[in-house]
C-alpha cells in the first residue's frame, strides 16, 4: 500500500518478536494495512533500545519475547519509561501480563489468539488512543521541544533511568554528535560527566530525585572542554513521583562554546559523517534496485520474501538519510550560531 489509510494515519510500528518468520509476516501485513514498520527486535533489550532510537507510535511485543526481563517488564518499560504505547500479542491468555491497573497492562493492550487485519488495526488504534487520552501533556512536550531548539544552551529530556529521550540542536552541536547518536544513552558519562568538580557522584544525585545543580568542565562524549553549569529538575507525575528529568546546561562566563582549537575538529567530524553516509546510501540503494528487479522473476513466495527484506533495508537507509540530514543541520547551526568555519 503506497499511502496509509485514514484509519492508520500513517502510524509507525516497531516489532519485538523472537521468530523471524512471524515478524516478517506481521511486518508485511502491517504495511498492507498502511502502517510503516520502522524496525524489529528479537530480544527485550533490543526492543527497548530500538524503541528509544526510533520513537515509534506503537510497539507490538510478543508474549514469547526472551529477556533479559519478562515481556511484561519490557512492555511496561517501553510504555511507562519511554512513553510509547504497546500492544502485546499472545497465542493464549498469559496471567503474568496482568493484572490491569497503573502498574500493569490493561486487557486492551493484550491481543490474544489468532487475529485478522481488522482486529489488528482496531487493537493498534485503541492503544494509541488510550495512551493519548492518558497523556494530555503530549502537546506541551512538543511545544517544549520546539522552544528548546532555539535556545543556545544544552537541553535534554531524560527518562527515570537517566537515558536521553531528547536533545536540542545546540546540545547536539556541543557534543559533536548527531542527535540520533545520543538518544537512548545514559546521560551520565555521555552528556553529563560521572562526577562534578568536587567529585560528587551524579548518579547518586539522580537517585535522590531532587533538583540539583552541578558545574562541569567538559562534555565527555564530545571531548569538548568548556565549562557548563547544569541544572537538573525532576518532572513529577500526578502522584508526585519522578517521571523523568529536564536538564539544562548553560555556559559559565565565555565558556558556552567550544574553544577555537576544537571548532575545526567538530566540523570535520560532521563533514566525515555526511560523506560516509552519502557513500553508504548509494552503495545500498543501487544494488537493492537490481535485487528487486530480479525478484520479479522468482516464484511468488520467494519474491514476496525478497521484497519484504528489500523494504526492511530501505527503511534502514531511510534512517541513515535522517542521520545525514541531522548532520547537515547541525553543521549549518555551528557555522551560523558559533561562527565556526574550516
pLDDT of 340? 44
Which position has the higher pLDDT, 6 or 109? 109
Q: Mean pLDDT for the chain?
A: 75
pLDDT of 211? 92
Q: Which three cell numbers stand for residue 17?
A: 518478536
Reported as a single tens digit per residue, the pLDDT across 70-120 is: 888 888 888 877 888 999 998 876 654 544 444 578 888 888 888 888 888
Q: Is 290 helix (H, G, I), strand (E, B) or coil?
A: helix
Q: Omega before 99 cis (within 30°)?
A: yes
Provide the percentage of residues in the chain whose pLDDT is more than 70: 66
Look up cell 511507562; give the residue. Answer: 80
pLDDT of 187? 92
- Whether 251 shows a pLDDT value over 60: the answer reads yes
**Eight-state DSSP code of residue 181:** G
**Sign of the torsion formed by the C-alpha atoms of 140, 142, 147 and 148:** positive
- Characterize the bridge pairing of strands 12-16 and 36-41: parallel
Average pLDDT over residues 129-151: 71
Which residues have C-beta within 8 Å of that of residue 142, sequence separation ≥ 6?
Answer: none
Q: Which three cell numbers stand for residue 104?
A: 500493569
Taking the complete model, does pTM exceed 0.75, yes or no? no
- Whether 57 shows a pLDDT value over 70: the answer reads yes
Provide the percentage of residues in the chain whose pLDDT is more than 90: 11
Confidence of residue 255 (pLDDT cuts 50, 70, 90): very low
- Whether 306 shows a pLDDT value over 90: the answer reads no
**Eight-state DSSP code of residue 190:** T
Q: In what order do the strands lie in the sheet with 58-62?
A: 36-41, 12-16, 58-62, 86-90, 110-112
Q: Which of 4-13, 49-58, 65-74, 205-214 has the lowest mean pLDDT?
A: 4-13
Do 132 and 154 touch, CB atoms closer than 8 A? no
Which position has the higher pLDDT, 10 or 9? 10
Average pLDDT over residues 300-326: 67
pLDDT of 232? 93
- Whether 5 shows a pLDDT value over 50: the answer reads no
pLDDT of 254? 44
Which residues have C-beta within 8 Å of that of residue 39, sequence separation ≥ 6?
Answer: 14, 15, 50, 54, 56, 315
Q: How many residues does the chain have?
A: 342
pLDDT of 237? 66
Taking Cα atoms as reference points, which of 275, 265, 282, 257 lies closest to residue 337?
257
pLDDT of 98? 47
Confidence of residue 342 (pLDDT cuts 50, 70, 90): very low
Do 230 and 247 touch, CB atoms closer than 8 A? yes
Which position has the higher pLDDT, 95 or 319? 319
Taking Cα atoms as reference points, which of 162, 166, 157, 249 lies closest to residue 208?
162
Do 288 and 314 touch, CB atoms closer than 8 A? yes
Which position has the higher pLDDT, 176 or 159? 159
**Sign of the torsion formed by the C-alpha atoms of 121, 125, 126 and 131:** positive
- Whether 239 shows a pLDDT value over 90: the answer reads no
Count of H helices and E strands in the chain? 9, 10
How far from chain centre, in Å, is Cα 103? Answer: 23
Q: Which of 146-155, 189-198, 303-312 has the lowest mean pLDDT?
A: 303-312
- Characterize the bridge pairing of strands 58-62 and 86-90: parallel
Q: How far is CA 139 from CA 26, 46, 121, 146, in A?
A: 31, 28, 24, 11
Taking Cα atoms as reference points, which of 130, 1, 19 lies closest to residue 66?
19
Q: Say how far apart CA 107 and CA 105 lie, in whole Å.
A: 7
Q: In what order do the strands lie in the sheet with 242-251?
A: 164-167, 154-158, 242-251, 228-236, 212-216
Taking Cα atoms as reference points, which of 138, 87, 77, 83 lies closest to residue 108?
87
Look up cell 504497546; give the residue. Answer: 86
Amino acid at each position: 500500500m503506497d499511502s496509509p489509510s485514514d484509519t492508520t494515519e500513517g502510524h509507525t510500528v516497531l516489532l519485538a518478536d523472537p521468530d523471524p518468520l512471524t515478524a516478517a509476516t506481521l511486518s508485511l501485513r502491517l504495511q498492507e494495512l498502511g502502517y510503516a514498520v520502522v524496525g524489529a527486535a528479537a530480544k527485550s533489550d533490543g526492543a527497548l533500545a530500538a524503541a528509544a532510537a526510533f520513537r515509534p507510535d506503537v510497539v507490538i511485543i510478543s508474549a514469547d519475547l526472551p529477556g533479559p526481563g519478562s515481556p511484561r517488564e519490557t512492555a511496561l518499560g517501553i510504555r511507562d519509561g519511554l512513553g510509547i504505547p504497546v500492544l502485546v500479542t499472545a497465542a493464549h491468555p498469559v496471567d503474568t501480563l496482568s493484572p490491569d491497573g497503573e502498574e500493569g497492562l490493561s486487557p486492551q493492550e493484550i491481543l490474544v489468539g489468532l487475529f485478522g487485519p481488522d482486529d489488528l488495526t482496531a487493537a493498534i488504534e485503541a492503544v494509541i488512543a488510550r495512551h493519548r487520552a492518558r497523556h494530555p501533556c503530549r502537546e506541551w512536550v512538543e511545544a517544549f521541544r520546539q522552544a528548546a531548539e532555539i535556545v543556545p544552551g544544552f537541553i535534554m529530556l531524560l527518562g527515570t533511568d537517566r537515558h536521553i529521550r531528547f536533545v536540542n540542536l545546540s546540545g547536539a552541536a556541543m557534543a559533536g554528535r548527531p542527535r540520533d547518536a545520543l538518544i537512548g544513552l545514559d546521560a551520565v558519562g555521555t552528556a553529563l560527566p560521572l562526577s562534578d568538580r568536587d567529585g560528587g557522584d551524579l548518579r547518586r544525585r539522580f537517585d535522590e530525585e531532587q533538583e540539583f545543580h552541578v558545574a562541569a568542565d567538559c562534555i565527555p562524549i564530545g571531548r569538548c572542554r568548556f565549562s557548563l553549569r547544569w541544572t537538573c529538575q525532576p518532572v513529577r507525575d500526578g502522584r508526585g513521583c519522578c517521571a523523568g528529568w529536564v536538564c539544562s546546561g548553560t555556559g559559565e562566563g565565555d565558556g558556552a562554546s567550544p574553544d577555537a582549537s576544537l571548532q575545526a575538529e567538530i566540523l570535520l567530524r560532521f563533514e566525515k559523517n555526511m560523506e560516509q553516509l552519502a557513500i553508504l546510501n548509494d552503495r545500498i540503494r543501487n544494488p537493492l534496485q537490481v535485487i528487486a528487479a530480479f525478484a520479479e522473476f522468482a516464484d511468488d513466495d520467494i519474491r514476496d520474501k525478497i521484497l519484504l527484506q528489500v523494504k526492511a533495508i530501505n527503511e534502514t537507509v531511510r534512517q541513515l538519510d535522517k542521520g545525514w540530514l541531522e548532520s547537515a543541520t547541525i553543521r549549518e547551526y555551528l557555522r551560523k550560531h558559533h561562527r565556526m568555519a574550516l
